Chain A
Amino acid sequence: MPAAPQRSNLPKLSLHVPEPKFRPGDEVDFSDVDVPAAGSASRPDSAADPAEFHQLAYTLVRVLGDDGQAVGPWDPRLDPDTLRIMLRNMALTRAFDERMFRAQRQGKTSFYMKSTGEEAVAVAAAMALAQDDMCFPSYRQQGILITRGYPLIEMMNQIYSNKGDKLQGKQLPIMYSDREKGFFSISGNLATQYPQAVGWAMASAAKGDSRIAATWCGEGSTAEGDFHSACTFAAVYRAPVILNVVNNQWAISSFSGFAGAEATTFAARAIGYGIAGLRIDGNDPLAVYAATQWAAERARTNQGPTLIEHFTYRAEGHSTSDDPSAYRSAQEATAWPLGDPVKRLKEHLIALGEWDEERHAAQDLELAEMVRKTQKEAEKNGILGHGMHQKFETMFEGVYEEMPWHLKEQMQQMLDEEAAAGRPGPKR
């Protein structure tokens, strides 16, 4: 490369490459993370003009204070039974993650992704939506399926790609799909679900339906072009959609600065599109519930979309293929100023006199046992690597509605080769 001409009278330019505050071995100090007091954020009418959301896009909506009490205008005032269900769903999601992570480590499947620390973002949101609202999740909202009562064994069958797997072993583990539970097929390609959710919402509106759509992506994925397209479409057509950005600070090894977080918040992106934007404490299940409920009401009354930034922390590795100790300080997760969502809801229920440590411990045991039993059941259908669980032909099915001649031909070729090699396919 030829050297740039030097003009001595002008200052040299320099390139800013973001760098996270802490790297492995560093002492972590989050004191500069601005954590407003619970209850301090205002709660506008759900029909308010998007222009009124400047302030809410830069603060943090919080309901649960450090004393475990729910305060302020965003308190959704849930009854204790609902709170206990929420806690149970979150604890179950965590128990499921623990077990499946271990299953991957034991070589029973190829891959897993936990949502540890982010359970509220999926569970509380799913509880605030109607059962028939359509969700377009990323790979880290397994809590939605759990909240909607999707059978754990179905999830495990999928993770094991075994003969019980309804997706016929076609998808990487955790890329679930369940039409009946309003859970759209997860894609490996980041952010593609964003415009799709907007399209679903537009269709619902065009048809005079009453159902809305919600979608989730990580803060890293907001840098994809699809995010921009989706926000533009959502704003232009006032689509009844909730756009959730789960800002867990990390996109694999890249901190949120590489998605633009040094300069502004993700909720503030909404302002430029003319979308209502809320920035909330993503580890506060009541704040997640309240914001989702608010956004759902806004969508259902034809007031248009809402973008919600859930400020949270990815407490564990990105996936079973990732070792976070290679790029961030091990202290970060424990030092995170917004705590742990499960613990915070537990403390709230205890503060209300509706729960106690003994019941909590007993529930954890019960859930772990339930997951373990279900896992045993699922493993009867097989685990990955122990033979091929799907009939060979399934590989060619579903590419098109009807199998074209060239796939039939390739299928026959494969069957002949397999037969000649003496490998009988599994019976369906």
Chain B
Amino acid sequence: MNMIQAINSAMDVMMERDSSVVVMGEDVGYFGGVFRATAGLQDKYGKERVFDTPITECGIVGVAIGMGAYGLRPVPEIQFADYIYPALDQLVSEAARLRYRSAGEFIAPLTVRSPFGGGIFGGQTHSQSPEGIFTHVSGLKTVIPATPYDAKGLLIACIEDNDPVIFFEPKRIYNGPFDGKYDSPAKNWGSHPGGEVPTGYYRIPLGKAAVVREGEALTILCYGTMVHVVANTVAEAGVDAEIIDLRTLMPLDVDTIVESVKKTGRCMIVHEATRTQGFGAELAAVVQERCFYHLEAPIERVTGFDTPYPHSLEWAYFPGPVRIGQALKKILKD
């Protein structure tokens, strides 16, 4: 399966198992979503469980919260993460706080799915990585898969979770892993082990990172598309890096990170999102606090620049093989 199919399968499995699961969003119903992630679901489960919505993100999330209060388990889609901002108030002030402010009387068991990230010439409003906004909000969980297998298992876990979850889907790797080489032919998931996806139910626990490559020279923390870019760059550079795919950003799998950095003594953080107060800053702080006496070099961050996402200069902006390669040389120097 590719990642779209895996995500579709996760919703299918959950809708089959639990009649309280409903899917909603712009173009998700009859049409099956602009990325086809919800294709076939309305046919199978009916319009009362899979429906198109008006174009109002604040409404989509607000309505989903009300449905959650009723006892449903909504899976709203925000067409692009770049368009999640109109829903911020409902996410930050409502979904995230509902359990807390009502001392558990009301909950918001939503999973907000949204394609995110760049590398597709999406320009300023189809490329953003706003995860840092959500990891900052207490009460929200933030999950980002890097393979179809993880996407399905994690999405099922999100839907079953009783807390509100932001599920960001790296759209650059919907159809195949991306090594950062934008001018080489596209790959598909067929030849990647992460593309093998069981058709039935399985879940991957939230809050658990995956070590995608074991190594001794340094630890690289990444997620989403960057997992593949990093893996390929490391392989080509012949560096014995330990690559950790965080998978869940909040709550973070601190143990896996700390254990690895204590072993390697070096830590590099890679994300597409802009640098200043990006999630990498939190990661760097966590590593600094817990691994200070094991660090042999300053923590290195390779991220998007602090600019809006540009269109024509995308491949200079993107933290791809060139920039990661330079950072590897720097961090391994002494």
Interface residues of A (CB under 8 A from B): 134, 136, 166-168, 170-171, 175, 177-179, 184-185, 187-189, 192, 194-204, 206-207, 213, 225-226, 228-230, 232-233, 236, 398-401, 404-406
Contact = CB atoms under 8 A, between A and B. Distances in A.
Interface in B81-137: 86, 89-90, 93-94, 97-107
B106 A179 contact: yes
Contacts of B102: 167, 177, 179, 185
A398 B58 contact: no
Given A184-B69, A199-B62, A233-B54, A192 B252 contact: no
A230 B99 contact: no
A179 B97 CA distance: 16
Interface in B147-202: 161-163
A171 B105 contact: no
Contact of A228 (B56, B68, B251): B56
B93 A200 contact: no
B67 interface: yes
B141 interface: yes
B33 to A, nearest CB: 19
B310 interface: no
A225 B106 contact: no
7 contacts: A134-B70, A177-B102, A185-B106, A195-B59, A195-B66, A196-B65, A229-B63
Given A195-B62, A200-B67, A203-B70, A399 B252 contact: no
Contacts of A195: 58-59, 61-63, 65-66, 90
Nearest to A398: B100
B254 interface: yes
Given A189-B94, A195-B90, A400-B139, A236 B101 contact: no
Contacts, number: 146
Could you tell me the dominant secondary structure of chain B's interface residues? mixed
A243 to B, nearest CB: 13
A399 B86 CA distance: 23
Contacts of A399: 99-100, 138-139
B232 interface: no
Given A206-B22, A404-B251, A192 B62 contact: yes
B278 to A, nearest CB: 18
Given A195-B62, A199-B64, A398 B104 contact: yes
Q: Which 8 A-B pairs give the minimum distances between C-beta atoms? A: A199-B66, A195-B62, A229-B59, A199-B63, A404-B251, A203-B70, A196-B66, A185-B102
Contacts of B106: 177, 179, 184-185
Interface in B25-50: 48-49
A233 B138 contact: no
A204 B94 contact: no
Nearest to B68: A199
A405 B48 contact: no
Contacts of A185: 98, 101-102, 105-106
A364 B264 CA distance: 76
B63 A198 contact: yes
Contacts of B56: 225, 228-229, 232-233
B207 interface: yes
Given A192-B93, A195-B90, A200 B69 contact: yes
A198 B56 CA distance: 14
B72 interface: yes
B288 interface: no
Nearest to B163: A400
Contacts of B308: none
Contact of A236 (B54, B103, B207): B54
A400 B101 contact: no
Contacts of A192: 62, 89-90, 93-94
Contact of A225 (B54, B69, B86): B86
Contacts of A199: 62-70, 74
A189 B98 contact: no
A399 B99 CA distance: 7
A317 B207 CA distance: 48
B62 A194 contact: yes
B298 interface: no
Nearest to A196: B66
Contacts of B138: 399
B100 A187 contact: no
Given A170-B103, A185-B106, A198-B59, 14 more contacts: A134-B70, A166-B103, A184-B106, A185-B102, A187-B94, A187-B97, A199-B69, A202-B66, A203-B72, A225-B86, A226-B89, A226-B90, A400-B163, A401-B161
Contacts of B59: 195, 198, 226, 229-230, 232-233
A318 B141 CA distance: 36
Nearest to B70: A203
Contacts of A230: 59, 62
B63 A175 contact: no
Nearest to B63: A199
A178 B285 CA distance: 40
Contacts of B104: 398
B69 A196 contact: yes
A167 B101 contact: yes
Nearest to A195: B62
A394 to B, nearest CB: 8
A167 B161 CA distance: 23
Nearest to B56: A229
B91 to A, nearest CB: 11
B254 A405 contact: yes
Contacts of A226: 58-59, 62, 89-90
A185 B138 CA distance: 18
Given A197-B66, A203-B70, A225 B58 contact: yes
Contact of B252 (A166, A201, A203, A406): A406
Contacts of A167: 101-103
A230 B64 CA distance: 12
B70 A187 contact: no
B136 to A, nearest CB: 13
A185 B66 CA distance: 11
Contacts of A187: 93-94, 97, 101
A225 B62 CA distance: 11
Contacts of A233: 53-54, 56, 59, 63
